[in-house]
Structure 1
Amino acid sequence: MPKDRLMSEKEWRSLGIQQSQGWVHYMIHTPERH
């Protein structure tokens, strides 16, 4: 994953397909801090 620039739409879609389940689980079970 490149850290020196914004990811392209293609990269975002690829990551979304691979990690969407993990991210949803993480976001739901991690309390938000403001």
Structure 2
Amino acid sequence: MENNKLNSIENKELLELLLTEQEEYYNYLKCVNLRN
């Protein structure tokens, strides 16, 4: 049971990391598009 809780915490952090990466990438693309 404890192990499950740990896994869900890790998954949550991974998900947040992914979302942050996506957002930064999206902002980067916007900047590139503005320059073109």
What interval of TM-score do these two structures reach, taking the shorter chain for normalisation? 0.3 to 0.5
Mark the structure with the bigger radius of gyration: 2
TM-score normalised by structure 1 residue count? 0.36
TM-score normalised by structure 2 residue count? 0.34
Q: Which has the higher helix share?
A: 2
